[in-house]
Amino acid sequence: MGFFTGEVTALPPDKSISHRAALIGALSAGVTEITNFSAGFDNQSTLGVLRAAGIAVDQGEIIGSYGRPVRKVVIRSGGLWSFTAPEKQLMCDNSGSTMRMFAGILAAQPFESELVGDSSLMKRPMKRIAEPLRMMGAGIELSPSGTAPVRIRGTRDLKPIEYSLPVPSAQVKSLVAFAALHADGETRIIEPIRSRDHTELMLGLETIDRPDGGRVIVIPGRKTIAAKPFYIPADPSAACFLVALGLLGTNSEIIIRDVCLNPTRVEFISVLSGAGADITIENGRIIGGEYIGDILVRSTPDMKPLVISDKVVVAGVIDELPMLSVLSAFVSGEFELHNAEELRTKESDRIDAVVVNLERLGFECEQYPDGFRVIRRRSRPTGTVTVECFDDHRIAMSFAVAARASGESIELSDSAVVGVSFPNFFEIIDSLEA
Ligand code: S3P
C-alpha cells in the first residue's frame, strides 16, 4: 500500500482557462500577457493553431510563486478580425476544446479553413458545433458521420441568434459566444444545465439565472475587447487525481496549493465529501475573477461507494468521472452511474474504457447506454495487468493513481498520454510517495 504525503505547488495550470486565455487574447485588441500558462499538449495545440492563423504568440519562462519557473505567454492582436487564412489544415491533435472553440472564431473570419485532429479527435461528435454556426450564417461541412475534418467557410456577416444548448457543453457555449462577439447584434445562449463558466467570467458577460437552475448568457456583438492580463490557477481536474491518491493511500495527507475552486469545477469535492471523504478547503480567495484556494486531503479508507445519477451533478463532474469511478471501485468494490451518455463522447468512450480496464483488474461490471455499475471485486490479479489507455489522458491517470495507492502492479499501454493535461503527473506522484 502506498503512503503519500507532502505539499504540491506545481500542479498544471488549468486547461480550460489556459485555452480561453489564449483565444480571448487573440480576439482582444492589444497585448495579452498570460502568466502560468499550461505546458500540456492540448494547450500547446491551441497556441499552434493561433500561430497558423496569423496571430503573434510568444512563449517563455519567468520565476513565479514558490520560486519555480512558470510559463508566460504573450499574444499580440488587432482584435476580432485579425486572423489570416491558414496555408494548410489546422492540426488540433488530441484537443476537442481547441477544435470546437476555435471553430467559433474561424466561422466569423472571411476565409476558408479546415480543422483536423489525431485519431481520437477525428472520431468525436462535431454536429453540435455545426448547428449553431450554420444558424449564424457560416458554411460548415463535416464528414458523413458528423465528425472532423471540420471545413469552415467563414463570413464577416454572422447573424446574432438565440440558442438553447441541446447538451450541457461549455465548449459549445464558448464557441457560440466567440462567434457571437463578431455578430451584428446581441446573441443569447440558454443553458438549461450549467457548465463551467470561465468564458463568461473572462469576457465579463452578463448572465441571467433562470428559476430552473439554468442560465442565459448575453453576448453583445461587435464590441472591441481590450487586452487584459490573465493569471491561470492550478487545474482542479488535475487536483482530483491527487485527491484520489490521498484518499486511497495509507495514512496519507496531501495539500495542493492555489487550485481553481470555481463552483462549476469542484462538484467532485462535494460528491466525495458526501461519501465521507476527509477533504478541507483552506486560504480561499479571488484572483482575476476566479475563486482559488488550497485543497487538503487525508486518507479515508472507510469511504462509502459513489452513486451518481443527477444530471446536474453529472455535468459538474464530467471530467472527473473516470477517477471517481475507479476510486469508488478500489475503496468499496462498488460504483453506480446514470445519465452520463456524454461520457462516451470524450477523448475515448470513457464508460467502455473504464469498464474494460476494471474487468481486467478483476471487477464485475455492467454497462448500459448512459452509464455503468461496478458490482463487486471478483478476484485480484496475480501478475501485472496492462491498462489500455485508448488515447485518453484521464483513463491513464485514473488507473495509475489506483495502482500506486493500492500497490497493485499495472502497466499503461501509453504512459506519455498523460502529457495532454498533466506533463509532470508521475514526477509529482513520485515526490509525494514516502
Ligand atoms: C471543457 C468542457 C467539457 C470538458 C472538457 C473541457 C471546456 O467538454 O469535458 O474537458 O474547457 O470547455 P464539453 O463541453 O464537451 O462538455
Evaluate the CA torsion angle 271, 18, 133, 201 in order and state its sign: positive
Q: At 288, is the pLDDT very low, low, confident or very high (cuts 50, 70, 90)?
A: confident
Across 215-227, average pLDDT: 96
Q: At 72, is the pLDDT very low, low, confident or very high (cuts 50, 70, 90)?
A: very high
> Distances in Å between the alpha carbon of 376 and those of 331, 335, 336, 386?
11, 9, 11, 20
- Does 317 sit in the ligand 1 pocket, CB within 6 Å? no
Cell of 186: 446581441
Place of cell 517563455: 60
- Does 171 sit in the ligand 1 pocket, CB within 6 Å? yes
- Does 169 sit in the ligand 1 pocket, CB within 6 Å? yes
Across 82-109, average pLDDT: 98
pLDDT of residue 135: 98
In the chain the domains, ranked by start, together with CATH numbers, are 15-231 (3.65.10.10), 233-432 (3.65.10.10)
**Start-end of H helices in 37-149:** 41-52, 96-106, 127-136
Q: Is 382 exposed, middle or buried (0-12, 13-18, 19+ CB in 10 A)?
A: exposed
Q: At 161, is the pLDDT very low, low, confident or very high (cuts 50, 70, 90)?
A: very high
pLDDT of residue 168: 95
Q: Which of 308, 214, 333, 307 is nearest to 264 (CA)?
A: 214
pLDDT of residue 340: 98
Q: Please give the order of strands across the beta sheet that includes 90-91.
A: 90-91, 112-116, 150-153, 139-141
Q: At 157, is the pLDDT very low, low, confident or very high (cuts 50, 70, 90)?
A: very high
Nearest CA to ligand 1 atom 9: 319
Evaluate the CA torsion angle 410, 414, 416, 417 in order and state its sign: negative
pLDDT of residue 2: 86
User: What percent of the chain lies above the pLDDT cut of 70?
Assistant: 100
- Does 97 sit in the ligand 1 pocket, CB within 6 Å? yes
Q: How is the chain split among helix, strand and coil, in percent rounded to 5?
A: 35, 25, 40
Cell of 126: 462535431
**Per-residue pLDDT reduced to its tens digit, 180-214:** 999 999 999 999 999 999 999 999 999 999 999 99
Nearest CA to ligand 1 atom 10: 319
SS3 84: coil
**Per-residue pLDDT reduced to its tens digit, 223-277:** 899 999 999 999 999 999 999 999 999 999 999 999 999 999 999 999 999 999 9
Model confidence, pTM = 0.98
Across 287-311, average pLDDT: 96
Q: At 95, is the pLDDT very low, low, confident or very high (cuts 50, 70, 90)?
A: very high
pLDDT exceeds 80 at position 319: yes
Report the C-alpha gap between 215 and 230 in whole angstroms. 25
CA angle 22, 177, 98 (to 5 degrees): 40
**Per-residue pLDDT reduced to its tens digit, 364-395:** 999 999 999 999 999 999 999 999 999 999 99
Q: Ligand 1 centroid to 262 CA: how many Å?
A: 15
Report the C-alpha gap between 16 and 235 in whole angstroms. 8
Report the C-alpha gap between 242 and 432 in whole angstroms. 10
pLDDT exceeds 80 at position 284: yes
Ligand 1: which of 97, 100, 314, 348 to mutate, most ligand atoms within 8 Å of CB?
97
Evaluate the CA torsion angle 188, 133, 20, 348 in order and state its sign: positive
Q: Are 202 and 222 in contact (CB under 8 A)?
A: no
- Does 94 sit in the ligand 1 pocket, CB within 6 Å? no
SS3 174: helix
The two counts, helices (H) then strands (E), for the chain are: 13, 22
Report the C-alpha gap between 162 and 350 in whole angstroms. 32
- Does 16 sit in the ligand 1 pocket, CB within 6 Å? yes
> Which ligand 1 atom sits nearest the alpha carbon of residue 167?
16
Average pLDDT along the chain: 97
pLDDT of residue 262: 98
Across 314-343, average pLDDT: 98
pLDDT of residue 1: 74
Q: Ligand 1 centroid to 253 CA: how many Å?
A: 30
